[in-house]
Amino acid sequence: MKQDWPPTEVRREPNAREKRRLKMPGNSIHELAITEIERLSRRGFQRLALPEPLESGFEQSTFVQRSERLWVEGLIAIGFFNIYVIADYFIRGGASWLPLQIRLCVVTPIALLINISMRWNPNKVFRETSIALVACLIGITHLWVESDTSAISSAYAQVGLIVTVVFVNVVMRLQFVYALTASVLFASDLVFLHHDHYLDASAKLLGITLAVCAISMTVVANYSVGRDERLGYLMRLRSEIQSSELSFLNVELKKISYIDSLTGLANRHSYELQFAKLWREAVDSGGCLSVIVIDIDHFKITNDTRGHLYGDRVLARVASLLLQSLRCKDDFAARFGGEEFVVLLPAATREGAMIVAERIRKLVEVAGSPALQEPGSHPRLSTVSCGVATCWPNESNCKEDLLDSADKALYQAKSDGRNQVRWGELISTARKRPTAERRILRGLAKGDSGSWARID
């Protein structure tokens, strides 16, 4: 079973294709965002619409806040509009009910209906178009009511139009295309000025000039705001993608730094971290910890006779068989150095560790020799020798004692003819046993028959 430990989640070195894939899928979006930032940062007029999927991303990231802002600002504007309508009626002395009825009974309900629809976060087309149409309705209605009634009313009509233009293009900040369209519709002011009999030619020219200047300046302001909004979104997106890519690459580099590139097992640094972790856990729980040190027999001869590439294949094959020999995900295998490997078995007794070591030895003996490329050639039989040691970690022993005992057992297996498993007794373990085991032994010494039952 494969070991499950964060540093060894990736068990082999990424190949060339995988290294190319370290560039995240967002990289193309990143490049597109950088291109658009450079384009929108240039001087002069630049098209505000972003290419897909950036435009959709911009709308998705802003539509909720935009709808909320339009709802609040629209409600405030409708309130001020109705205050103006009522004040205008009383200032005129209630001379005519028609302007009041049109504004309160037609324009205001339509404006409120469109404004309330912002609460449901409508799509961009409906949101921008509906507000632009309501603004044009208010502006044109104001021109129709006030124009050609008196010289003062005609002058107020121009002021009201300018206020409406400023409100649409600067306060509500419709997206540029919709703001520009609404501004073009406001140019209907030319029609009302042409038919207004209370204004002379100079007054009409002044009205046209004011309207054109107001529309032009507010359209430019609207464009600048829209460009800044998109630049801000693109810069935030660029920062998020860069941060995400950096985190991704850091994780990949960390994984690579924890594995041995040839065998895909954990490397020496990873082994030391895991050994310390399992040792602390065993000390806290009072459990045992076993170590198997494995060395490939006659590996130098294999390298000398078959070449280093074949030797690398042997190392990779043995590493694969080690992983297959593990008991569960908590077991840990690493390349210790050269042709030597180490296996950590948490909560494994002497008997359990010997079974795992024997399984490793047998698997390598049976399947540890990769086939040769040359026809008719027979690979040299690969075998391993294993040294096993077990201890109950506590204050009286240390990790080095356990590893040293397994290492001595390995050399004993080598001395006894190789392709063998040997057990190494830990001196400190014999000197100090776990508390529960010491209580049982003291009971046996006193002739307590119940201690036999506890042993069973």
* 86's tokens: 């009522």
- Tokens 């802002």, located at residue: 69
Which of 52, 55, 339, 374 does the annotation list as catalytic? 339
Residue 113 φ/ψ region, left for φ over 0, alpha for ψ in the -120 to 50 degree band, beta for the rest: alpha
Residues 419, 365 contacting (CB under 8 angstroms): yes
Beta partners for residue 388, in sequence order: 292, 423
Which residue matches tokens 């409120």? 112
Q: What are phi and psi of 378, to 5 degrees?
A: -120, 125
CB of 210 closer than 8 Å to CB of 204: no
Which pairs count as long-range contacts for 362-371, CB under 8 Å and 24+ apart, including other chains?
Answer: 363/321, 363/324, 363/325, 364/296, 364/318, 364/321, 365/419, 367/317, 367/321, 368/314, 368/317, 368/318, 368/321, 369/314, 369/317, 370/310, 370/313, 370/314, 370/317
C-beta separation of 287 from 316 below 8 A: no
CA angle 423, 429, 434 (to 5 degrees): 125
339 is catalytic: yes
The alpha carbon of 224 is separated from its chain's Cα centroid by a whole number of angstroms, namely: 32
Report how far residue 234's alpha carbon sits from residue 232's, in angstroms, rounded to the nearest whole number: 5
Measured distance CA(166)–CA(146) in Å, rounded: 19
Q: Are 289 and 349 in contact (CB under 8 A)?
A: no
Residues 6+ apart with CB under 8 A from 240: none
d(CA 187, CA 161): 10
CA–CA separation, 152 and 448 (whole Å)? 118
What contacts 229, CB < 8 A, 6 or more positions away?
62
Q: How far apart, in whole angstroms, are the C-alpha atoms of residue 216 and residue 405? A: 88
Burial class of residue 288 (count of CB atoms within 10 Å of its CB; 0-12, 13-18, 19+):
buried
Cβ atoms of residues 299 and 311 within 8 Å: yes
Give the C-alpha separation, 161 to 188, whole Å. Answer: 10
Active site residues: 339
